Amino acid sequence: MRIADRLLSTVDRLAPPVTAHAHCDLPCGVYDPAQARIEAESVKGCMEKFNASDDEVFKGRAVFIKEERAELVKHHLWVLWTDYFKPEHVAKYPELSDIFWKATKKAGEAKKTNDVKVAEDLLNQIGAIDKIFWETKKA
pLDDT category of residue 19 using cuts at 50, 70 and 90:
low
Average pLDDT over residues 90-96: 97
Per-residue pLDDT at 10: 57
Per-residue pLDDT at 138: 86
CATH classification code of 29-138: 1.20.120.400
pLDDT category of residue 30 using cuts at 50, 70 and 90:
confident
* Extents of the domains making up the chain: 29-138
Query: Does position 1 have pLDDT exceeding 80, yes or no?
Result: no
Per-residue pLDDT at 5: 63
Average pLDDT over residues 82-106: 96
Q: How far apart are CA 117 and CA 40, in angstroms?
A: 12
What's the pTM value of the predicted model, to 2 decimals? 0.79
Q: What percent of the chain has pLDDT over 70?
A: 79
